[in-house]
Structure 1
Amino acid sequence: MDTKPPSSPHVLIFPLPMQGHVNSMLKLTELLLTAGLHITFLISAKDHDRLFRYTTVHGHLNSYSGFRFHVIHGLYEGPVDTGDKLTILFDSLSKVTTPLLRNMLLDSPVACLIADGIMAFPLDAAKGTGVPVFFFRTVSACAFWAYFCIPDLVTSGDIPFQGTDMDKQIVNVKGMEGFLRQRDLPSFFRSDVNNVTLQQIANVTRRTQESHALILNTFDELEGPILSEIRKYCPNIYTIGPLHAHLKSTSSNNLFEEDKTCIGWLDQQSPKSVLYVSFGSITTLTREQLIEFWHGLVNSGKRFLWVIREDLLLNHGGDNKVPSEVKDVTRERGYIVGWVPQQEVLAHPAISAFLTHNGWNSTLESIVEGVPMVSWPFFADQQINSRFVEAVWKLGLDMKDTCDKTIIAKMIKEVMDVKIEDFTKSANRMAKLARECVSKGGSSYRNLDRLIKDIKEMSVRSTDIQVN
């Protein structure tokens, strides 16, 4: 009888090659490595190069003997700031990666594939291989559920939108009746039902039912009612977030170079006196919008730390540089950088509030640190997240669909002065729940443990099948 102990389970992890997706799936990778699993992480050549240049991820993860990057060449590597460009990226991924995935699943023992659930083709690549596919969705549960309901919204006539009243309520997304408005759905909901992005999102989200399980970077105490609706269609769900709160490591997964001088500047500021401003890795602004934000920030009278990426400003007549007046006039109360170590910034005692695009990673990081938000969503899940921030979780104000200096200044003062006690109380309560859920015995702690055990059992079954 062969008494040789089984080898560690081997897992393939495959994110969409975008900052927020790579970031959260690298965090999942570290958690699985810590549990003794072996991981192959599929990554685009561009993202691999950025991680090598701007982070310590390579050295950090390579300290685990069971980890390796598998670099994918030949993918579209241009900007992904519109639905059309996102379609180009998906087409590129499907063409290049489907045969690659299938060969990897067939040629070596793999316990499971954890694929970014925004891509459907990994399901097709895995067909007939016997390898279970877990879908990991990097968006909120509330956004996932709205996407899942797209066919129902078309049937009910909610899509396409009728009339121009964007405050008209949407009543056919169960669990969101009473507060979801037309303006709270992503921009691709606002066009024709044959919109390519709308159809792609609807189809891939419904195909989640074909996967073995759904992994979500959220926690039951935050999105419980919505998770109950999702479980009616996808019963096997692992809610394991906030992922970054599980980790003791402060290793950065950013695809941009961090300017850590901002921490020294924050050290010189009074406690709870600074507004942190960042619109994430994809959002773009027109020159006019940038100026409105600048006036709003200055007129608020608050000190601010503002992230202005090199590519934040849309190309305007060949001039893509930040206006000099923005830098010059903000010297007294503001500090402008290209990118920051965001978790460290949000945890800094000088930070009072966060003017954010409400990307899901940013929203969770703000929640964990108990920082109230002023929301200015750009696209995709961000519109729904911002509505939940204001109407459901009471963690800040939603400023979507407007970019006016007067409103910007008013909302900043509302969050940082007028309603600071209410928002801080709600934020501290939710931060406490977030920390408890990843502590031993908490809901996300238990779900992560269940995920690890289930993967290990899959590996044992796979070994038995090969032996027999």
Structure 2
Amino acid sequence: MDVSEPQPQPHVVILPFPAQGHIKPMLMLAQLFCNNANFYVTFVNTHHTHNLIHKLINKTNFKRLFPTLRFEAIPDGLPPQHPRSGPQVLDIFFTMGFESKAKFKDVLTGLHQQEEWSPPTCIIADGIMSFAIDVAEDLHIPVITFRTYNASCTWLYFHIQNLIQQGEIPFQGDDDMDRPIACIPGFESLLRRRDLPSICRLEDAQNPILQFYITQTSAMTRASALILNTFDELESPIISKLGSLFPKIYTIGPLHALFKSRTTHYTESDSSNGSLREQDMTCLTWLDSQPSKSVIYVSFGSVATLTRDQLLEFWYGLVNSEKPFLWVIREGLLLGDDTVVETPAELEVGTTESGCIVRWAPQEEVLTHRAVGGFLTHSGWNSTLESILAGIPMICWPQLADQQVNSRCVSELWKVGLDMKDFCDRSTVEKMVRNLMEGKREEIMKSIAGNSKMACDSVKEGGSSYCNLEKLIEDIRSMRSTTKNIAHVGNE
């Protein structure tokens, strides 16, 4: 072969788990590949999320900016009327099985057979979508796993089986929750029972959800590398420990900041931030009318839910704190029969005077607005990372998955916020808001300012995440020679 012959651009297939917290960073990576490396990218959603994204993006602008990014869809195994949110989102764990795997394989073999783009060079699969690793092995396509948790929680999940063997889990929600957990290397003096992932509070070690995470985490080590949406300076000791499990680790976060630092000549409407909900931009106008650093922003993400009583306790706490608040109360936030809440008169008055409630907010813009001084959050990793980057201290009220671990790191490891897990009575909410905005603010602000600077520096040219993205791009380019002759695989 003539070595001077132009080589086709790599073609990366990306498969996220169908939830906003997973789609957002993986779609940002897809856009970076297209914009900065000229890669072809096929982004594979479920039919449900595929339809939601296409309703929200400006297709003309998006295609102009990312001409080498296209979307495919596979089934998630759920009926159309399934809500796919709240506690029921877990149903997808057990329905994205045989049918999804078979359809994903069909997508890949179809990409091999079309002539417009080069065949898939590699697959980047969500860390809880291990069927993609099975398919990649069948088709002899290199696969990289992308865990949308941080390094700390990813490391902890690799020790869940050991926690079971040590008798530390499972436990009930009222069983000595402040008991120290000392058997996870690197976290010997950090974690308590209440700081472990929510799945550790299940009654039975054989619970299918707990076993699902154990199986998925183990499968990740079959991938050739690990991608994390974090930055070296924040989690260096734990990233080093993960190096014992993966031959290569690419820490490329905060991805939303890396994308903005490396993408020019675009507006927010040109790209997609992975939101599956329409954003209410009017809250930015409300923020414009508020004093600098005065507002507490409140959002519990896209999955967590509240009971009616919890919502009222938060509401009273916010009003009683006498701080202006911007609160996201999305559709589906309230559980089941609690969807109708009669608002007490004093809360209506308090909200009219100092509050703003929206269905969904443009969170990145909110956190960087001059009026915002604190964030009451569910401690999802995207929200945590966005808050650190923006230099906004947090009050953490975690509910699911990695959120308990994140909130402990926020309060005790990085010292950029306060941890309110397992409590939300109105007096506690009021006290926490006052502490964040007044009492402990100076101490916390010093710490978050330093972490914010490190996050900003990591995505600049020469920064750790900037360089790690370059390494990832270079390594994917080197995969071309091993995948160029496998187009026939899958028809055998």
What is the TM-score normalised by the length of structure 2? 0.90
1:28 aligned partner? 29
Q: Distance in 2 between matches of 1:50 and 1:327?
A: 33
What residue number does 2:5 align with? 4
Q: Which residue of 1 is the match for residue 211 of structure 2?
A: 199
Q: Distance in 2 between matches of 1:426 and 1:253?
A: 29
Aligned residue for 1:401? 422
1:357-396 Cα distance to aligned partner (Å, 9 max, x none): 0111000000100000000011100000000000000001
2-side partners of 1:205 and 1:255: how far apart?
A: 26
Shift of 1:156: 1.6
| Structure 2 residue aligned with 1:288 | 309
Counterparts of 1:64 and 1:253 in 2: how far apart (Å)? 15
Structure 2 residue aligned with 1:131 = 141
Counterpart in the other structure of 2:196: 185
Aligned residues: 464
Identify the match of residue 320 of structure 1 among 340, 355, 358: 340
Cα 1:37/1:321, change in 2 over 3 Å: farther
> CA separation in 1, counterparts of 2:386 and 2:60?
23
1:168 to 161, 172, 179: 179
Aligned twin of 1:357? 378
- The answer to which of 242-251 and 451-460 deviates more is 242-251
Q: How much does 1:176 deviate?
A: 0.8
Measure the CA separation in 1 of the matches of 2:474 and 2:450. 31
* 1:78 matches 2:78: no
Distance of 2:342 and 2:479 partners within structure 1? 52
The code of the aligned residue for 1:421 comes to E
The amino acid that maps onto 1:244 is: H
Contact 1:62 1:68 (8 Å CA) reproduced: no
Q: Deviations over 1:277-297 (max 9, x none)?
A: 000001111000000000100
CA 1:327–1:254 in structure 2 vs 1: closer, same or farther (change >3 Å)?
farther
How many angstroms does 1:91 deviate by? 2.7
Higher deviation after alignment, 137-146 or 1-10 = 1-10
Whether the 8 Å contact between 1:370 and 1:428 is mirrored in structure 2 is yes
Q: Which residue of 1 aligns with 2:236?
A: 224
- Structure 1 Cα separation of the partners of residues 59 and 466 of structure 2: 24
Q: 5 Å matches for 1:17-166?
A: 17-34=18-35, 35-56=37-58, 59-61=61-63, 63-73=65-75, 75-76=77-78, 77-82=82-87, 85-107=88-110, 108=112, 109-161=119-171, 164-166=175-177
Q: CA deviation at 1:466?
A: 7.3
Distance 1:106 1:352, change over 3 A: same
CA distance in 2 between partners of 1:87 and 1:290 (Å): 23
Query: Within 5 A, what are the aligned runs for 1:341-352?
Result: 341-352=362-373
| Aligned amino acid, residue 139 of structure 1 | Y
Question: How far apart, CA to CA, are the structure 2 residues paired with 1:411 and 1:130?
Answer: 53
Please give the secondary structure, in 2, of the residue aligned with 1:410: helix
Contact map agreement 2:85 2:332 (CA 8 A) in 1: no
Structure 2: runs of 5+ lacking an equivalent:
113-118, 261-265
Q: Deviations over 1:131-160 (max 9, x none)?
A: 011111111111111111011111222122
Asked whether the equivalents of residues 272 and 349 of structure 1 are also in contact (C-alpha less than 8 Å), the reply is yes
How big is each residue's C-alpha offset from its partner over 1:310-348, in whole Å with a ceiling of 9 and x where there is no partner? 21111226x435747554531100000000110000000
Q: Deviations over 1:252-276 (max 9, x none)?
A: 3211111111000101111111000
* SS in structure 2 of the partner of residue 200 of structure 1: helix
Q: CA deviation at 1:58?
A: 6.8
CA contact (8 A) 2:93 2:212 kept: no
Partner SS, residue 332 of structure 1: helix
Q: Deviations over 1:214-244 (max 9, x none)?
A: 1000011111111122111123111111100
Q: Name the SS for the 2:336 alignment partner.
A: coil
Determine if contact 1:215/1:239 at 8 Å carries over to the other structure.
yes
Change (3 A) 1:254 1:402: same
Is the Cα–Cα contact under 8 Å of residues 75 and 103 in structure 2 kept in the other structure?
no
SS at 2:391's partner residue? coil
Contact 2:18 2:45 in 1 (8 A): yes
The RMSD of aligned alpha carbons is 1.9
Q: 2:165 aligns to what SS in structure 1?
A: helix
Report the alpha carbon displacement of residue 46 of structure 1 after superposing the two structures with TM. 2.1
